[in-house]
Amino acid sequence: MDSLLLKNLNQQQKQAVIHDKGPLLIVAGAGTGKTTVITNRIAYLIEQKKAKPEEILAVTFTDKAAGEMEERVDRMLPYGYIDLWISTFHSFCERVLRNHALDIGLSTDFKLVDPITAWMLISQSLEKFDLNYYRPLGNQTKFIHALINHFS
């Protein structure tokens, strides 16, 4: 248990990295080391052979955060692991859809709608939506942006 991955962590961070009894929720403010704990935990699980790289999924909200996590894990491990999934929620979902498109009746070359196209499609079709609970009360542009954000 003398892993170098635990060396610069405080006691709570160490406990989170080596936790092995059921789910663990990490709640902490900005700059408190959440990303450090998550990346060290990923590397620790692989180093201790508690999980294979292809059994680990780490998702975050931004490409920047996903790239940073991937880079940190890569530096901690003795050699790169290409089967590790560290990505944004959107990119993870797109990958799952691409891998299983035919299973759900989609073509494997389906296209994702970009935000501008989504806005135009919703704007042209808004009056056709049967909205009982979530409908525009004022500025239609703000409503469409809120609708897109709600579903993405």
- Tell me phi and psi for residue 2, to 5 degrees: -85, 40
Q: Are 50 and 83 in contact (CB under 8 A)?
A: no
Tokens of 77: 């491990």
pLDDT for the residue numbered 42: 93
Q: How far is CA 71 from the centre of its chain?
A: 15
Tokens of 78: 């003795």
pLDDT tens per residue across span 102-136: 999 999 889 988 888 998 998 898 878 877 766 66
Taken in order of first residue, the domains within the chain and their CATH numbers are 4-104 (3.40.50.300), 115-151 (no CATH)
Residue ranges, the chain, pLDDT below 50: 1
Instruction: Look up the pTM and report it.
Output: 0.74
pLDDT for the residue numbered 99: 93
Q: Are 85 and 74 in contact (CB under 8 A)?
A: no
pLDDT for the residue numbered 89: 92
Residue 45: partners with Cβ closer than 8 Å, 6 or more residues away: 51, 56
Q: Are 16 and 41 in contact (CB under 8 A)?
A: yes
